[in-house]
Chain A
Amino acid sequence: MNGKNLEVLVMAGLFVLLLAAPFVVYPVLMMQMLCFALFASAFNLLIGYVGLLSFGHAMFFGGAAYITAHTVKVMGFPPEAGILAGTLAAAVLALATGVLAIRRQGIYFAMVTLALAQMVYFYCLQSPYTGGEDGIQGVPRGRMFGMIDLSNDLTLYYVVLAIFTFGFFVIYRTIHSPFGQVLKAIRENEPRAISLGYRVDQYKLMAFVLSGTLAGLAGSTKAIVFQLASLTDAAWQMSGEVVLMTLLGGLGTVIGPAVGAILIILMQEKFKTLGDWVLVTQGVVFVLTVLLFRKGIAGEIAAYATRIRR
C-alpha cells in the first residue's frame, strides 16, 4: 500500500517538473524525451509485465510516424487526425503481427517480431509513399482542432506533455487493473495461469496490441514534433534502443523506462560532439548498469526504499 503511495508521489513530483521544464531546457529536446519516454513505457508494458521481449517495436513507432507524416503532409489531415491515424494504424499492425508472434516464447518471440519489423522497414524503404532514404520531410505542424497553433514550440510542448500524460496514464492504469493482475500471473507462472482457466494467448495478444498502439502514439507525436518520418524510426536499431532505455531505467517498474529514455536522449544530446563515440559511451553506461544495478536505476531506488521501510 505504502509503496503505491510513494509511486504516486514521485509521479506527481515529476509531473510538476515536466510542467516547468521547457522554461529551463530547450523545448524540442524535452519533447523528444517525452516521445521516447512514452515509447519505452509502452515497450515495458510487454517485457516488464508479461515477460515478452519484443525486438520489433520500431515497426509500431516508425510505422505510425510514416502514417502520420503522410496523412498530414500529403492528405492534409489536421495534426490531431494525423496522430490518431498513425496510432490506429499501429494498433492494426500490432493485432496482425501479434497474432503471429505470441504463439512463440523467449528468443523465438524476439526473432519473429524482429523479422516482421524488418518487413515493415523494407516496405518503408521501397514504397513510393515513404520517400525512400529521405523519409517524409517538412511535415506541417498545423493547428490542432483548428485553433491551437503548433508551430510555437512552447505550445506544442504542452500538447506533447498532454499526450504523454494520457499514454502514461493508460499504461499505469493497465498495470494496476484486473487485467494487469492476470498479466502478472502469466509472467510469474504461465502453466499455473492456464490451469486456473486463463486462455493466456488472449491476454498476451491484448497486451501486445496495447503496447504497440501506445508505441505508435509515441511515433506519431514524434513525427509532428520533428516534422519528419524517417527510416531511423523504423530501423532495427530503434527496437534495440528502446530495450536499452528500459533496462537502464528499470524493467518492470512504472517510471523506470521513462527515466531510462530521458537519460539516453540526454546522453545523445550532450555527447553529440563525440560523433560515433556516443555509441561507445552508451555501451559503457549499459554495461555498468547491468553489472552494478541489475534492476535498473528506478528498480534499484525502489528496492532501496523497500529495504529501509522494513
Chain B
Amino acid sequence: MQTPEQTDYIIETAGLTKEFRGFTAVNNVNLKVRRGSIHALIGPNGAGKTTCFNLITKFLTPTRGTIHFNGRDITALKPADIARLGLVRSFQISATFPHLTLVENVRLALQRAAGLHYQFWRSEHALDKLNGRAMELLSDFGLADHAHLTAVELSYGRKRALELATTLALEPEMLLLDEPMAGMGGEDIARVAELIRKAAKNRTVLMVEHNLSVVASLSDKITVLARGEILAEGSYAEVSGKPEVIEAYMGTGASTGGAAQEAHAGATA
C-alpha cells in the first residue's frame, strides 16, 4: 500500500545512473518531483540534464536505478507506453510534423485516444469529428488563424506554441519540457513562459532550462545538477546563494568540459 507521503511525489528516481562507455553521465540521482509543481532541472553544460530527461522518458535505458511514476515502477517500459501513462515530453528542437497542417498536427495527438489510428480502410473524413477539439486547442495558443498552414511555415515561437498545444491535446498528467526557451528571443520567451504557466495548471511540469530568469520566475523547486550528480535542491533563492552552485556555474571550465559535453551530445543525438 502507498503511504500519503509516496503519492505526494509523482516522479521518484532512485539511484538513477547512466554510463556511456565508461563515462558516467548521470550518477546515482535521486530525484523527486512533487505533484502539481513546476520543477526545473538546471546545471552547466554536460551536467547530465538532458540525459536525465531521456532516462525518465525512456528514450535512453538506465544502466542502474529505478524510476517510479505515480508509485508504479516504469523502469522497464518503452517510450510510447510511458506517453500512454500520461508522462509526455517535448524536445530541444521544436517537435512538430513539419509538412502537416496545424490542425493535423494537433489531431494526431487526439487520434489515438479516439481509436482512429489503425484503420487504413476508413476515409480520413472520419477524423473530421476531432477538428473541433483541435481548433479549440489551437485558439488557446493563439494559433487559430493559422490552422491550415503547415507547421514548417510557422515562426519559431509559434512552433513551440503548436508543440505545446499538441502535447496538451493528450491531456497528460505530467509534462517534461526539454529547454522550452532554447533559441528564442525576448518576446517569444515571455509568451512561451505564459503558455507554460497556463499548461501547468492542474499538472506537474519538469523542465530543463538554461534561461535562469525563466527558471526563477516559473519554477517552484529547482534541482541543480553538476557532473551527473545532484548538487543542490530548493527554491531559486535557496540554490542561487549556495557557493557550490556558483562554483559549478562559474568555476568549472576545462576540468569537466570535453568528456562531459561529448557524452551529453551523444545522449541528445
Interface residues in chain A, defined as those with a beta carbon under 8 Å from any beta carbon in chain B? 173-174, 176-182, 184-185, 188-189, 191-200, 203, 206, 210
Contact = CB atoms under 8 A, between A and B. Distances in A.
Say what secondary structure dominates the interface of chain B.
loop
A177 B111 contact: no
Nearest to A45: B120
A182 B108 contact: yes
Name the residue in A177, A178, A199 with the highest tally of chain B Cβ atoms < 10 Å from its Cβ: A178
Interface in B84-101: 84, 88-91, 95-100
A184 B107 CA distance: 13
Contacts of A185: 97, 100, 108
A199 to B, nearest CB: 5
Contacts of B120: 173-174, 177-180, 206, 210
Interface residues of B, number: 37
Interface of B: 57, 59, 78-81, 83-84, 88-91, 95-100, 104, 107-109, 111-112, 116-124, 126-127, 166, 170
A201 to B, nearest CB: 9
Contacts of A189: 95-98
B117 A178 contact: yes
Nearest to B90: A195
Given A173-B123, A180-B120, A181-B127, A195 B97 contact: no
Name the residue in B79, B117, B118, B120 with the highest tally of chain A Cβ atoms < 10 Å from its Cβ: B120
Contacts of A180: 120, 124
A179 B118 contact: yes
Given A177-B121, A199-B80, 7 more contacts: A185-B108, A196-B88, A196-B109, A197-B81, A197-B83, A197-B170, A203-B118
Nearest to A4: B124
Contacts of B117: 178-179, 181-182, 198, 203
Name the residue in A188, A191, A197, A210 with the highest tally of chain B Cβ atoms < 10 Å from its Cβ: A197
A178 B97 contact: no
B104 A195 contact: no
Nearest to B113: A197
Nearest to A198: B80
A45 to B, nearest CB: 10
Given A176-B124, A192-B97, A197-B80, A181 B107 contact: yes
8 contacts: A173-B121, A178-B122, A191-B95, A192-B95, A194-B80, A196-B109, A197-B170, A206-B120
A310 to B, nearest CB: 12
Contacts of A173: 120-123
Contacts of A210: 120
B100 A184 contact: yes
A188 B100 contact: yes
Q: Which 9 A-B pairs have the closest CB atoms?
A: A197-B83, A179-B120, A178-B116, A192-B95, A188-B97, A174-B120, A197-B84, A199-B80, A176-B124
